[in-house]
């Protein structure tokens, strides 16, 4: 029987793609740049590649912040200050909290049955603000984030720390829900959690092997938990 539920934040509870687009539109305007869908699509490609490096411990979060927008501007041949854009983008992103459809409802539902935690690599203070602004935080028992110790998903240590945090729930009594097959699902499997993959991007795929369940909407979680 499930006793604890871990929820990823970006693109599980909060729509990171929409939030990031809004944040970069504002940042671009502040820099005097014309925003385009090409900027957004390039950001998604570069950001995903850099976070894969962080997951593999080939890069730190601090290094990502130093190079991310510089890489994007270089690819697009935009003569702009990448460091200034990064600062503006992060500042704006902290003020944007667009919930994924059904997010508030599913967290309210789950909190009525289990202890609910968020498990995220994003900065702790940023998550507190965004989860508060979105109305989700009141339903969360604790935000699990180990950035101060340099521990990120999908490192086994991250999930071992989560397991300690949800005690007395055991690994067999703990479910993790997230959109990332590498960070959430593979990581959760390393400690034996029940894994629920949220197919946020609506991919036309069968349930991956490292997931116990696959859902295409947050509402569908109610049929599992």
Residue 17 burial by CB count (10 A; 0-12/13-18/19+): exposed, middle or buried?
middle
The reply to whether 203 and 149 lie within a common domain is yes
Q: Which distant-in-sequence residues (6+ apart) come within 8 Å of 168 by Cβ?
A: 3
DSSP string, 149-190: GTB-TTSHHHHHHHHHHTTTS-GGGEEEEES-IIIIIIHHHH
Place of tokens 């935000």: 143
Q: What is the CATH number of the domain that holds 207?
A: 3.40.50.1000
Q: Which residues constitute the domain of residue 31?
A: 16-93
Question: Dihedral of CA 44/49/50/55: which sign?
Answer: positive
Q: What is the CATH number of the domain that holds 36?
A: 1.10.150
- For the chain, which ranges sit under pLDDT 70? none
Q: What pLDDT score was predicted for residue 34?
A: 93
pTM metric for this prediction: 0.88
The reply to whether 88 and 104 lie within a common domain is no
The reply to whether 165 and 88 lie within a common domain is no
Q: 93, 110, 144: which is the final residue of a domain?
A: 93
The reply to whether 194 and 152 lie within a common domain is yes
The two tokens of residue 102 are: 């059904």
The reply to whether 104 and 204 lie within a common domain is yes
The reply to whether 115 and 216 lie within a common domain is yes
Q: What pLDDT score was predicted for residue 61?
A: 85
Determine the distance from the C-alpha atom of residue 29 to the mean position of all C-alpha atoms in its chain, rounded to a whole number: 26
Q: 93, 110, 136: which is the final residue of a domain?
A: 93
The reply to whether 50 and 115 lie within a common domain is no
Q: Which strands make up the sheet holding 4-7, listed edge to edge? A: 142-144, 115-119, 4-7, 174-178, 194-198, 213-215
Instruction: Tell me the C-alpha distance between 198 and 8, whole Å.
Output: 10
The reply to whether 67 and 161 lie within a common domain is no
The reply to whether 33 and 86 lie within a common domain is yes
The reply to whether 48 and 132 lie within a common domain is no
Query: For 166, which DSSP code?
Result: T
The reply to whether 89 and 144 lie within a common domain is no
The reply to whether 212 and 105 lie within a common domain is yes
Q: What pLDDT score was predicted for residue 188?
A: 94
Q: 63, 93, 123: which is the final residue of a domain?
A: 93
119 sits in which H/E element: strand 115-119
Number of domains in the chain: 2
| 25 prior amide bond cis, ω within 30 | no
Q: Rounded to a whole number, what is the largest CA-CA distance in the chain?
A: 56
Instruction: Tell me the C-alpha distance between 218 and 107, whole Å.
Output: 9
């Amino acid at each position: 029987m499930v006793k604890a539920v871990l929820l990823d934040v970006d693109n599980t509870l909060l729509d990171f793609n929409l939030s990031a687009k809004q944040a970069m539109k504002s940042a671009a305007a502040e820099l005097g740049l014309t925003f385009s869908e090409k900027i957004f699509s390039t950001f998604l490609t570069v950001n995903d590649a850099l976070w894969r490096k962080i997951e593999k411990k080939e890069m730190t979060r601090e290094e990502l912040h130093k190079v991310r927008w510089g890489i994007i501007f270089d690819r697009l041949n935009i003569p702009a200050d990448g460091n200034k854009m990064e600062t503006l983008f992060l500042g704006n992103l902290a003020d944007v909290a667009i919930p994924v459809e059904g997010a508030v409802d599913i967290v309210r539902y789950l909190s009525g049955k289990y202890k609910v935690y968020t498990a995220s690599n994003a900065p702790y203070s940023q998550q507190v603000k965004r989860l508060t602004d979105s109305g989700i935080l009141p339903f969360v028992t604790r935000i699990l984030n180990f950035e101060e110790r340099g521990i990120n998903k999908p490192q086994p240590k991250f999930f071992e720390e989560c397991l300690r945090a949800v005690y007395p729930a055991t690994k067999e009594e703990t479910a993790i829900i997230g959109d990332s097959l590498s960070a959430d699902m593979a990581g959760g499997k390393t400690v034996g959690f029940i894994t629920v993959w949220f197919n946020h991007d609506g991919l036309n795929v069968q349930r991956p092997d490292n997931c116990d369940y696959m859902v295409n909407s947050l509402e569908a979680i109610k049929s599992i938990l």
